[in-house]
Structure formats: C-alpha cells, structure tokens
Structure 1
Amino acid sequence: MQFSERVGYIVWVSDLKAARTLEKYGSVHYMSRKMHYVVMYMNADRADETVRNMQRLSFVRRIERSYRNEIKTEYTQGVPDKTRFYSL
C-alpha cells in the first residue's frame, strides 16, 4: 500500500461549530477551543486547490502551512554531554 504525501495546515477560524465542516477537505487532527484554530492534514498533490476552496469559507480567518515535517529530528552528538560529570 502506497501512502500519498501529506501536508499539514493550521486554519484559524471564527466559529468552531462551522469548523467541523473542514473534515471534508482533509483529516482534522486537532481543534483548539480556546485559541480557535484547527490543525489538519491533506494530500500534497491537491493542497493548493483545497486551500483556495477553504479560504472562500466565511468562518476561515487565515490559513498557515505547517513546517513540522521539515524540521530536522535527527540529532548528532557533536558536543560532549557534561551532565555525567556533575552527577552525585
């Protein structure tokens, strides 16, 4: 089974009840009730078209792309760990 490339977006909304309709544009990962935003993922090949359609919705304030998958998560041990010298 081949998984398609996914892209994350943060959608700032004015109405959380209406934000439930965003599920038809992609998979909703998280909805913040306090700060009024939705974290969602969608297919990368149709992301531009989907974002244009979502911006037309009346409850969408702005849409930001998430760069979480582009952040380096592999770390090197370039600097020696000094915590072992100060242990009890």
Structure 2
Amino acid sequence: MDIVSRTSLIIYLKHMKHERQIRKFGHIVSTNKQQRYVIMYINEEEADSIVDKLMKLKYVKNIVGSPYKYLKKEYPKEQHEFT
C-alpha cells in the first residue's frame, strides 16, 4: 500500500451553499460558515490542476495553500530545560 502525499487548501467561498459542488475536488475536513471557508485535502500531484479548476469557478473568492509544510518542525533545546 502506497502512501499518497496530500496537501490542504483553504478555499474561501462567496456563499456556503456551494460547498456541495466543491466536494468532488477532494476531501473536506472542516468548514466555517461565518467566515465562509472550507478546508480540503487533495493529492499533491494534482494540486496545480485542481487549483486552476477551482479558481475558474464563479463562487470561489480565494484559495490559500496550507503553510504546514513550510513550518519549522524541529526545535532546539532551551537552556532552562537542562537545569
């Protein structure tokens, strides 16, 4: 079984009623109705083509990629931890 690398997108919508149409592009993890965005996981290999398709839709305002892969994940030991 191969592990497929995935990335998350934050998709801002004009209206939350369009959430259903977006489901065909990936796996929706979370939604926020007040701020009108959807967090979705998609395959990393198909990310460019999916983002292009989503940006062409009338009801999509903005798409932001998740900053998780650019965050520092290893931290040096602090001085107070040794004493």
1:25-73 per-position Cα deviation (integer Å, ceiling 9, x unaligned): 0111111011011111100001000111111111100111111233123
Q: Which residue of 2 aligns with 1:19?
A: 19
The TM-score normalised by the length of structure 2 is 0.87
Q: Which has the higher mean CA deviation after the structures are superposed, 24-33 or 14-23? A: 14-23
Aligned length: 83
The TM-score normalised by the length of structure 1 is 0.83
**Percent identity over paired residues:** 27
Is 1:29 the equivalent of 2:10?
no
Distance 2:78 2:58 in 1: 50
Distance 1:66 1:21 in 2: 21
SS of residue paired to 1:61: strand
SS of residue paired to 2:39: strand
TM superposition outliers: structure 1 runs of 4+ over 6 Å: none
Q: Which residue of 2 aligns with 1:76?
A: 76
Letter in structure 1 aligned against 2:30: Y
Runs (5+) with no aligned partner, structure 1: none
